[in-house]
Each structure stands twice: as C-alpha cells, then as structure tokens.
Structure 1
Amino acid sequence: MPADRANRTLLTILALVLLVLGIAILLAGTDVFGSGFGRRPLLDNPPARFIGTHGGWVWPLAAVAAAILALLGLRWLATVITTEPSQRRINISTDGTAGRTVLDAGALATAIRAEVEDCPGVEDVDTKLSGQPHAPRLALNVTADRDVDLPALRERIEALVLPRIRYALGKPDLPVSLDLTYPRRRRTHIG
C-alpha cells in the first residue's frame, strides 16, 4: 500500500532527524564543538542573539513553518486513520488488445455474496472491494451458523468459491481477505 510505504518513510526520516539532534546535543555537552560550549548559558548564544535581533521576520516565518508542519501532520494523520475507499468499478480486461471491460463493483459484490451464501452453513456475507480498478482486493466477512465447522467452511470457500471468482474476473492472483465468524449470541431478558 502506498500509504503504508509513505508512513514508514516519513517515520524513518523523523527518527533519523531526532537521532542526529540527540547526538548533537550529547556532543555539545562533551566539548566536541569547542571548549566551554557545553557550559555556556542557554540564552547567551549566537542563535538566540540572531533571533532577538531579527525577531520581526523570524517569528512570522517560524509561525508559517509551524502551520505548514501542522497541516502536513494532519494530512499524514488523515492518511493513516482513513480506510481505503471502496472500489466502484473493476477493470476485467487482462490486455489492451481485446478492448476494455469494466464491471460495476456493486454488481460484482452482489454476485460474490450470492456465491458465498450458497455454501451450506453461511448466514451472512459482507463483501468489500478496494484497491485500484486494474488491481482490486476483496475482503469477505462471513458469518456462519453455530453448528458449522469453520475450517471445513473455509476450505470449501477457498477451494470452490474463490477460484470461480478469480476466474470470472480474469485475476488468478486476486488478493482475498477471508474472515469467518459465528453470530453473536442474543441476550434474552426474563421478566
């Protein structure tokens, strides 16, 4: 996923920047930057004097930089938190020579739901198609009857249903996430 890759890259860069700053602070305390540098007062240093002298333009520039960083942080947070949107159309054609075949994702989800519900012991199926139109991903959440053997149902879906779906889409490597659960028990109230 591109968002995961961007997330890892951004966190790695942030970690490296913080590591370099931490090492620089440790080295400043050991007089690597000159004798007495680590023992100088914090506010009596050239950067503080520069900011004090040129505060008329430094602080507004710092505010703009902080606002840009805050917006980038919010964008990053939104990318991490939001889920991938559902796919509306799936591109079925495998090569460009035969033309372009596009299938409505809602119709495909209905067909997949009907196919999985035909398996004995299935109570409910929730389907979600995501990814790119030419590289979709399928997520199946199947609720099974309490009397059904889940491993056997999983084998049946993987051996019979998923190959037919992949064949119909012309995507033998279609990634599928399969989640099998039992229904929640209903609480009965007495009285």
Structure 2
Amino acid sequence: MIREPNDEPVPKRTAWLLIAGGLGGVAAGTALSITLTTGFLFIGFLGGLACAIGVTGLAEHKWIALPAFLLGAAAPFLLTFGGHSVLMQRIGHVEHCTVTHTQEHPFNKHPSVDYTLVCPSTTVELDRNWDERLNIMEADVLIGEPLQPVFADQTRWNLLLVTSVPLAMILLIPVARALRKVP
C-alpha cells in the first residue's frame, strides 16, 4: 500500500469503506473474542489491518503507514485481553471454586494444566501455564456473564492503557483526512 508519487490516488470512497469495515471488524472480533473464544481475534486483527490500509490510502502519504499499521495490529490484542480484564474487574464477581479434574500437559511445547472447577453458580474449564499451576485443589475465579471466566489472581489491566491504542487509531483518521488535503 506504499504509494509512489506518480500513482493514482486511492479513491476516497474505497479508503472510507476500508476504514469503516476495519473498525467494524475490530469491534466484532474483539466482542466475539471476549465472549466466545479467542479464536475470533483473527477477525479483529484483519479488521485492524484493513483500517490501517484505509487510513494510509486516505492520507496519500507514506509516513503514516507505519503508525497506522502498528495501531491497527495492536488494537485488537489490547481490546481483547485488556478489555476482558477491565470488564471482569467491573462486572465480574469472585467465586471460590473446587478443582474436580486436572489434565496435565508437561511435555507440550508450552507446558500447561487444564482444570475443571465446580463453582457455586457453574462449572468452569480453565487452563494455566505449567509454572503457575495450582498448589491446592481450590481457586478463586472471576465470573461475569457473558464474559469468559478467569482466575481471580491473574494480572489486572488498566482502563487507560486499554482505551488509548484504539483511541489513537481513531484519532489517526482526521489526521489522514487533513493530510489528503495538503498538496
């Protein structure tokens, strides 16, 4: 998408469609990743890249491509993992759960342990890295429908960090629009 000075400009309509579709893809991929499974993160990632291509085409300047692609690639990941953590801090509640089944995977490339926990409100399946496995057969779990449950002791994200990258991604659009008008 890096353009040469003699190239035809990207039509505004195409650039705006890429931006709108990209932002929609980021929103849909993030929402599905938080509620269903992180496999939908790929949709958000593709949306972020489409938005970056649209911003670069709208601006018609080479230098905006790097920040657009960095923000487009980072936004889905921050919104999915950080957004999930922030939402669980706000709407989730802690339940003390008992481990009923474990399945260890010590010889995988990334060793882990899968746990089945029985909580007062539901049964939960979670996994942990091998080095962070539970020492006792009990754990505190953050549960908040419709979000995926997590262990309560996992790292907490900051709302400012989570919202800053997508906000910068959106603020790059008026900058690109202003750059298109500059000869």
Structure with higher RCO (Cα < 8 A, 6+ apart): 2
Same-fold call, TM cutoff 0.5: no
Task: Output the TM-score relative to the length of structure 2.
Answer: 0.25
From the CA coordinates, give the structure whose radius of gyration is larger.
1
